[in-house]
Structure 1
Amino acid sequence: MTPFAVPGVDFGLGRLHHVGIVVKDVDAAVRHFEEIYGVSIRLFSESHYQCQIDGVEHSTVQRLGLTADGPPYLELLREVPGSPVWQSGSGIHHLGFVVEDLARASNELERRGAPLWMGGVRDGECPAGTAYHRDALGLTIELLDRATEVRLANRSKRA
């Protein structure tokens, strides 16, 4: 089986955009990565995030940081107590890939056995730039469309 042999859906590992890690204290994690690994992470202001998790609407306030250099980037996300998604302690939370056609890539992951777990919601539409899938091994893959990639890059420049 070739990696996503669908036009506009290239999912090879060479296309890795970022590795997401959820941490209890995002400020301390930024210092940790700087001190231990020499990696500089730009920390963004809090932002409101609406999503659907297993088909149920959720709303949370999230704070994240992103390395300036990449891809691949390192993304740190603050733990959200009580959330079924943003929990720390398990190491890598997800792998993020940019795709040309989010709907097609998401449908293809579903077809191959990795159902949609969480998707962003904007103006009542899901997904809005991102779709998170989970496979039978528990691996979480985030798909980002180009507009979301550009939005993250622009946000990183302003941080």
Structure 2
Amino acid sequence: MSTETIRGMDHVGITVSDIDEATRFFEEAFGAEVIYDSVSRSDEDVKGEETENILNLFPGTRITTVRMMTLKHGPGLELFEMKGPEQNQSVRPSDYGLQHFAVYVDNINEAISLFERAGGKMFTSPQPLMFPTEVGDNNFFCYGRTPWGSVIELISLPSRMPYEDHTSLRRWKP
């Protein structure tokens, strides 16, 4: 079997407490746009044991809304609003499993302003990339939390990075 069939990341799925609030946040913070709703609140066909098994949901969880959004560049965002008898808060970057996704930005200070105006909270001001393989003039990142608790990294990499001296492979950039 060949990996030639693999193209790249299609979308990131995020469970949110309020899909309309999350939609507003992504529109204001990143200019995301709604493509379509896969499931609306009036749909009845995504409840039940079959869906619980397919998606490995906690028993009794109900999917209320699913919305696909697009960013100008990169993978899509698939937002899930679910209501269930057992739901946990978002993970911290030190927890196991998916813990953040990064959005590439051209102007990190402007992106932080948009993120915060939309209701997010940054953990710090922009920081120089901390790993020796990534350092470079104006290569910055910072992490923040969305209003519902997911962690998003803002990253800008305008300068060549030291890792490029050792491989022909390159990180994806829009």
Report the TM-score range of the alignment, normalised by the length of the smaller protein.
0.3 to 0.5
Higher strand share: 1
TM-score, scaled relative to structure 1: 0.39
Task: Calculate the TM-score normalised by the size of structure 2.
Answer: 0.36
Larger radius of gyration: 2
Q: Which has the higher contact order (CA 8 A, sep 6+)?
A: 1
